[in-house]
Structure 1
């Protein structure tokens, strides 16, 4: 297949590109504006392509999805079979302060991309969505049928894009999509070739790894009075390589199946303190942790019901081990430190 991957220089997108280069012979074009993605990641992906004798299979174009004429020209010229769409703004507090950025980038740009797919006979669309579309869910674990009630502009901007996809799927019978709702993505490539480069990260495991290697003086726990076993929030952490595998399975699934929505998680969760203690264990560092008040909009527990993706798509996670997730995140931070030295 000839595949367009938007945001392929970013954290999750790059792991999908890496896996496609390792496991398939698809032709891949990455479009990324490098606002959060990295040219260093692109260089590593090109090295992976070279090792796999697939240099001709990978193309990178630095571009912003808001440049509609340029994106249209690329799609017309390349004649893609499928799009895997990652490019999005993802910081929840920022979305509250700057909602226009989120609706323009996450909803308007996605809608235009879908329109260009429809105009140019690109009939497979894999969409990177989020558990944030559920808001504060009333049932745990969260099913795909759980009502969607986002509590911030980030979640709403993603849900609006989901709605556009669903409506277009009804209006255009040849157009098929998979919506993947991620829970908490963490870790790095098992071979530690790529990982999360985004500065000022807010993800717990990334922050804990940065604190363990001394990049941060201390880290914070937001809220210790939740109705959980130790008072801290519980989340479902999925290794980024398992999530990447779900995207490749989704592409294959669309060949013979109808459009659908799937949760991506492991089906059980760990508390913030359990994650921190695991990072301390794998790193051997008793780093400083400070306790502070709750953040607005944090649900106490967020765990995916993953039975649908396992049953329908035959997706089987390989890395659902918190120590392994923390260890890959830690090794990646050590690699970044060497890079900076």
Structure 2
């Protein structure tokens, strides 16, 4: 019996393309003592996937020939460990493949939530990243103004909705009139600036008449530079990602550092979601309450088929997703 997997055929030197990946048929893995055989149900597609191809980050660099890493929701097919049983739903650091084996102690047993996709979106990486970054670093107060870039994306949409639930004014930045309409009409943001229309500084200043207290940055580059110029004194900048910089050989950064940080006494801090894992239960309780109250709408963008994972990532980098992007490899049990 064979198993499909997708490897990185070659490392991109510029824009990521389908030719950088290869779909392979390989032998079905067999779990050794203390391991589990997992069937992939859903794979998370994140901008960070692209950054891993550029070198070591918070994880080892992805090299040519490696199966493409991912975070996945799986069910246990076979277990040689007392920790897990067939049929258990787990989260695992995995790869783009139909089946994988993993040490049982390195996967996390999950509750059976319907649909399982919520374990990747609102109760998973996206929702927890939004909650931890905004609450722990942004520390918003009711009445303050929050700006979030990539506002129609997986994390940005939840950041804005959490901000509204806390009583803040929330302004998004997104690409194109359709996405901006989605951000205000569906997600309830107070305003949204279309960066593709140009004049971002002027439009953002008009949308934030009292300045910006918290900026949740998902894109870096020119948008970060522009937003820093509108921050209030002692504002907080939450550095979550830099999607504008991942798919290029000529990355750019804000030119107003460190001057604007000093003059405005800003606090600028980066993080990854695992930094606050100790508070995951608190995040889940809050997110569940807001969903139940109708204050958070769950938005998901699910692409069907393992073979479509490369295009799903390429599309994400081009901004064609609305909500949390993931690839469905197998059916929910």
TM-score, with normalisation over the residues of structure 2? 0.31
Higher strand share: 2
| Structure (1/2) with the larger helix percentage | 1
- Structure possessing the higher radius of gyration over alpha carbons: 2
